[in-house]
């Protein structure tokens, strides 16, 4: 399977036969593939590795006052900025891709001027740099902090005060330096900020890390990957493999296609100035297929696939209600976390939910669940509590810095009654017991044999 397991043998044999026939039918002067407007082709189609600049809202007009109501509190979740790949992807960058690079230079069927980009390409990272925040990631969060300052203006104090602000990050380098860069954008680089101790298994910022039941019943459950397996054998995926094989000049496996897609995504996210040569191998249809494969993965593992996945996000929103209901608590709460937290929180709120589950047998071009759009690097989900002249409170949700309707609230008004919002989630927050929800009973080996 494309993302998770080794390639399907039957599929590989069929593809090998198909590719061999392509080679036999190709003449020496065969037409070369020429990628046109590659940046437009890959734009917002890179899954969870999409750079934040592709989805950000550059409009910084004030939203400190809405319908006469003014900002009282802000509470938000922020995904870390652009990072380096995991060790497994870096291994592919350093071993698999140089071999494919040689095949392209010797046998590839792509434009000669684009071949020059492959001649100059070389791996940029080592395994020691795995998952570290890169300069682009720091800039994403720094600029995000600056834009929030501009939008809310004087309603956010110019100087840091530990009673007004709460910044917290998970126990990872990428989340920590995302938080620090964000605070520098908000206050300037010289303002001293106090951060609480980072927790390895934070029940608010990364609740799923301590949920053994979710790990076993969802993340480690082969059945959870069934739709991806089906899509891995689809005609759309076969077409991607055949196209890339022809352009590279040798047969490529599903695993190698995945490595090419991931490298294209990371090298795009790292810099807007250069185009990754690996992106040049995709046409719009091919990269849209790869994007759908990403959507299937995260839909079933981090989204709507299983109720437990998003139910556990109640712990994060219990923190929101505790903060908004406490007049003496910090006015501005900014949490820096990861893709898994943002996607589960999005599903908890019922955002971007399609009428039917995403399936492997039918690739849907029109769908709400598109992680390239909703979970790019730097993704943010923040709530603003507004105090209104009549003494009531209202709430607004901003996703990717854009006002977003909260499912269950009126769609024709910008703000939702805070009392109505609390009532919608009252039962789930009241019943939010992570210990009970995530408890996985230990079954002695002798009993397992009997099951």
CA distance 159 to 255: 50
Average the pLDDT over 315-329 and give the result.
97
CA distance 211 to 48: 22
Confidence category of residue 431, pLDDT binned at 50, 70, 90? very high
Confidence category of residue 25, pLDDT binned at 50, 70, 90? very low
pLDDT at 450 over 70: no
Distances (CA, A) of 14 to 20, 227, 254, 286: 10, 21, 13, 19
Q: Is the dihedral of CA 373, 379, 383, 386 positive or negative?
A: negative
CA distance 397 to 416: 9
Distances (CA, A) of 416 to 64, 283, 363, 374, 383: 15, 43, 35, 22, 11
pLDDT at 81 over 80: yes
Report the Cα 307 to chain-centroid distance in Å: 20
CA distance 346 to 47: 16
> 56 or 273, which is more confident?
56
pLDDT at 172 over 50: yes
Angle at 327 between CA 324 and CA 328, to 5 degrees: 115
Confidence category of residue 31, pLDDT binned at 50, 70, 90? confident
Q: Which domains are present in the chain?
A: 38-74+96-307+321-372 (3.40.50.1240), 403-439 (no CATH)
Cβ partners under 8 Å of residue 213, min gap 6: 308, 437, 438, 439, 440
Structure tokens at 255: 């695993």
pLDDT at 426 over 70: yes
Tokens 């992807």 found at: 89
Average the pLDDT over 390-409 and give the result.
98
Contact 388, 394 (CB under 8 A): yes
pTM: predicted TM-score of the whole model, two decimal places: 0.92
CA distance 184 to 166: 14
Average the pLDDT over 370-375 and give the result.
98
* HEC-encoded secondary structure of the chain: CCCCCCCCHHHHHHHHHHHHHHHHHCCCCCCCECCCCHHHHHCCCCHHHCCHHHCCCCCCCCCCEECCEEEEEEEEEEECCCECCCHHHHHHHHCHHHHHHHHHHHHCCECHHHHHHHHHCCCCCCHHHCCCECHHHHHHHHHHHHHHHHHHHHHCCCCCCCCCEEEEECCCHHHHHHHHHHHHHHHCCCCCCCCCCCCCCCCCCCHHHHCHHHHHHHHCCHHHHHHHHHHHCCHHHHHHHHHHHHHHCCCCCHHHHHHHHHHHHHHHHHCCCCCCHHHHHCCHHHHHHHHHHHHHHHHHHHCCCCHHHHHCCHHHHHHHHHHHHCCCCCCEEEEEECHHHHHHHHHHCCCCCCCCCCCCCCCCCCCCCCHHHHCCCCCEEEEEEEECCCCCEEEEEEECCEEECCCCCCCCCCCEEHHHHHHHHHHHHHCCCHHHHHCCCCCCHHHHHHC
Per-residue pLDDT, 6? 42
| Average pLDDT of every residue of the chain | 92
Nearest to 199 by CA among 169, 243, 232, 224: 169
Least confident of 31-40, 271-280, 429-438: 31-40
Average the pLDDT over 427-434 and give the result.
97
pLDDT at 448 over 60: no
Q: Which residues are 334's β-sheet partners?
A: 76, 167
Confidence category of residue 36, pLDDT binned at 50, 70, 90? confident
Per-residue pLDDT, 12? 52
């Amino acid at each position: 399977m494309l993302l998770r397991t080794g390639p399907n043998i039957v599929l590989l044999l069929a593809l090998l036969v198909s590719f061999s026939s392509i080679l036999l039918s190709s003449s020496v002067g065969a037409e070369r593939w020429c990628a046109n407007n590659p940046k437009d082709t890959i734009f917002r189609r890179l899954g969870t590795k999409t750079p934040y600049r592709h989805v950000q809202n550059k409009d910084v007009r004030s939203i400190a006052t809405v319908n006469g109501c003014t900002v009282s509190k802000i509470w938000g979740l922020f995904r870390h900025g652009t990072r380096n790949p995991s060790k497994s992807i870096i291994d592919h960058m350093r071993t698999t891709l140089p071999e494919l690079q040689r095949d392209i230079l010797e046998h590839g069927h792509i434009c000669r001027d684009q071949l020059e980009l492959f001649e100059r390409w070389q791996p940029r990272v080592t395994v020691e740099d795995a998952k570290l925040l890169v300069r682009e990631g720091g800039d994403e969060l720094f600029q995000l902090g600056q834009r929030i300052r501009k939008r809310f203006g004087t309603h956010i104090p110019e100087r840091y005060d530990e009673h007004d602000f709460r910044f917290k990050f998970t126990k990872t380098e990428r989340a920590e330096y995302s938080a620090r860069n964000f605070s520098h954008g908000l206050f300037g680089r010289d303002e001293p900020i106090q951060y609480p101790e980072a927790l390895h298994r934070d029940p608010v910022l990364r609740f799923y890390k301590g949920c053994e039941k979710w790990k076993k019943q969802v993340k480690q459950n082969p059945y959870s990957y069934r739709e991806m397996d089906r899509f891995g054998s689809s005609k759309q995926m076969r077409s991607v493999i055949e196209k890339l094989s022809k352009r590279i000049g040798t047969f490529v496996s599903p695993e190698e296609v995945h490595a090419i897609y991931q490298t294209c995504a990371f090298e795009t996210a790292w810099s807007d100035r250069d185009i990754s040569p690996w992106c040049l191998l995709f046409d719009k249809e091919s990269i849209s297929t790869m994007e759908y494969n990403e959507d299937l993965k995260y839909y079933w593992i981090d989204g709507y696939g299983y109720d437990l996945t998003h139910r556990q996000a109640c712990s994060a929103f219990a923190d929101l209600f505790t903060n908004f209901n406490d007049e003496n608590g910090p006015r501005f709460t900014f949490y820096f976390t990861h893709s898994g937290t943002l996607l589960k929180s999005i599903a908890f709120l019922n955002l971007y939910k399609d009428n039917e589950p995403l399936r492997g047998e039918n690739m849907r071009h029109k769908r709400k669940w598109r992680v390239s759009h909703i979970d790019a690097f730097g993704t943010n989900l923040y709530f603003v509590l507004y105090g209104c002249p009549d003494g009531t409170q209202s709430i607004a949700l901003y996703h990717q810095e854009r006002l977003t309707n909260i499912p269950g609230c009126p769609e024709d008004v910008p703000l939702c009654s805070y009392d109505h919002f609390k009532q919608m989630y009252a039962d789930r927050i009241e019943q939010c017991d992570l210990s009970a929800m995530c408890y996985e009973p230990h079954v002695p080996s002798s009993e397992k044999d009997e099951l």
